[in-house]
């Protein structure tokens, strides 16, 4: 289990670092993605042959990892959710290192969080987008450490509250919150997964059974204006709807990337990216991806997720967190670990989170 904890956070880092090379590209060739990791692997091979010390990182992490590090650090330091502490860490991290590719609007939240007179740390986020809140994937992209922190409690209701609280510091739209909850549930479920290969239908059915009450509760009492995006998608439990779509897509043996993107999305919204991450994990877990022959399931998850294009760093970081939680460190190539920035810190944080559970 320690190896799975580590691979969850290390996986998230390498997914972000490798994926960020393609972020924003609408169409990504899988061969280009494979070439981007071959570069790392060849570099590592050459370094070994020359017996050189490990060179400095080549691929850098972005806001996804920067914010996940703050989540982990705050939970480890306080040993519970402390809204003020976590908000301070988000803002401080941003102002110390603003060029990590943060979302266009979330930076306003950080600016407002720096106000010394601020009493309610959730208020700046609740003011975003005319009071509707952000539906970006910034909550989901950073949430993996929360699933590790809550793992030993084995209490989904508690995990849900924790995830919702962490997300609401920057994102208050229910699609952002529920997307983060889905991502955390997927990581939790993957950590608890006993058998391999994964049964995709079972994995999805289990997620639906957990998400249905969450979505029903959050849509209760909402006005139609609150539910703009659900209205657009015509479903009262939109994440459950997309989970069912994932099942359908996995049964299509002549599936193209465009079909996946059309059905699930690949953009910076939580609704347009968390289901794509879950899909990437299950696609690699249950099927042979011919272009990725010779790669293990973790590698296939990351490379496939990036191949969806769009918000590649974020879809890859989320898919990799789920995959790492199942496969463990053995499946994360050494070269990826050496050349992606932030891996050692992620490994250390995961170890501390693991130890916290056994206290």
How far is residue 306's CA from residue 308's CA, in Å, rounded to a whole number? Answer: 5
Neighbours of 26 (CB within 10 A): 8
311 is in an annotated binding site: yes
Asked if 303 contacts 34 with a C-beta cutoff of 8 angstroms, the reply is: yes
For residue 33, give the 3-state DSSP assignment: helix
**Residue 74 contacts ligand F2R per CB under 6 A:** no
Cβ proximity to Mg ion, 299 vs 311, nearer residue: 311
Query: If residue 206 lies in a helix (H) or strand (E), which one and from where to where?
Result: helix 200-219
Question: x/- binding map, residues 272-311, to ligand F2R, per CB under 6 A?
Answer: ---------------------------------------x
Residues 77-96 that bind Mg ion (CB under 5 A): none
How far is residue 141's CA from residue 148's CA, in Å, rounded to a whole number? Answer: 14
**Residue 301 contacts Mg ion per CB under 5 A:** no
**Residue 132 contacts ligand F2R per CB under 6 A:** yes
Neighbours of 216 (CB within 10 A): 12
How far is residue 225's CA from residue 129's CA, in Å, rounded to a whole number? Answer: 13
Task: Give the residue carrying structure tokens 């509707």.
Answer: 132
Q: Which of 8, 61, 64, 249 binds ligand F2R (CB under 6 A)?
A: 64
Strand pairing partners for 269? 136
Which range touches ligand F2R (CB under 6 A), out of 61-69, 189-197, 209-217, 287-295? 61-69
Q: Which does 138 bind (CB under 5 to 8 A by kind): ligand F2R, Mg ion, none?
A: ligand F2R
Cβ proximity to Mg ion, 198 vs 274, nearer residue: 274
**Residue 215 contacts Mg ion per CB under 5 A:** no
Q: Which residues are annotated as a binding site for Mg(2+)?
A: 62-64, 311, 313-314
- Which residue ranges make up the site for Mg ion (CB under 5 A)? 62-64, 101, 311, 313-314
């Amino acid at each position: 289990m320690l190896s799975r904890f580590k691979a969850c956070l290390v996986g998230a880092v390498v997914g972000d670092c490798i994926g960020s090379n393609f972020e924003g590209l609408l169409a990504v060739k899988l061969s280009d993605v494979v070439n981007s990791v071959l570069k790392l692997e060849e570099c590592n091979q050459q370094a070994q042959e020359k017996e050189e010390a490990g060179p400095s990182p080549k691929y850098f992490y972005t806001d996804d990892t920067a914010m996940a590090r703050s989540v982990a650090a705050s939970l480890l330091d306080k040993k519970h959710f402390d809204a003020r502490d976590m908000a301070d860490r988000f803002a401080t991290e941003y102002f110390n290192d603003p060029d990590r590719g943060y979302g266009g609007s979330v930076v306003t939240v950080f600016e407002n969080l720096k106000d010394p007179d601020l009493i309610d740390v959730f208020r700046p986020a609740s003011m975003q987008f005319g009071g509707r809140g952000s539906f970006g994937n910034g909550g989901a992209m950073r949430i993996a450490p929360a699933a590790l922190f809550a793992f030993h409690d084995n209490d989904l209701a508690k995990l849900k509250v924790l995830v919702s609280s962490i997300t609401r510091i920057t994102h208050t739209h229910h699609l952002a919150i529920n997307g983060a909850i889905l991502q955390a549930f997927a990581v939790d479920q993957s950590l608890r997964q006993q058998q391999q290969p994964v049964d995709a239908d079972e994995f999805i059915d289990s997620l639906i059974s957990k998400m249905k009450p969450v979505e029903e509760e959050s849509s209760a009492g909402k006005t139609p204006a609150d539910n703009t995006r659900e209205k657009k998608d015509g479903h009262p439990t939109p994440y459950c709807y997309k989970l069912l779509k994932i099942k359908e897509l996995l049964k299509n043996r002549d599936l193209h990337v465009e079909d996946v993107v059309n059905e699930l999305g690949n953009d910076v919204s939580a609704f347009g990216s968390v289901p794509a991450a879950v899909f990437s994990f299950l696609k690699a877990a249950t099927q042979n991806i011919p272009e990725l022959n010779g790669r293990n399931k973790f590698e296939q998850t990351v490379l496939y997720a990036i191949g969806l294009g769009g918000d590649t760093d974020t879809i890859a970081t989320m898919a990799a967190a789920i995959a790492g939680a199942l496969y463990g460190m053995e499946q994360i190539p050494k070269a990826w670990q050496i050349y992606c920035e932030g891996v050692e810190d992620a490994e250390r944080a995961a170890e501390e989170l693991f130890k916290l559970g056994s206290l």
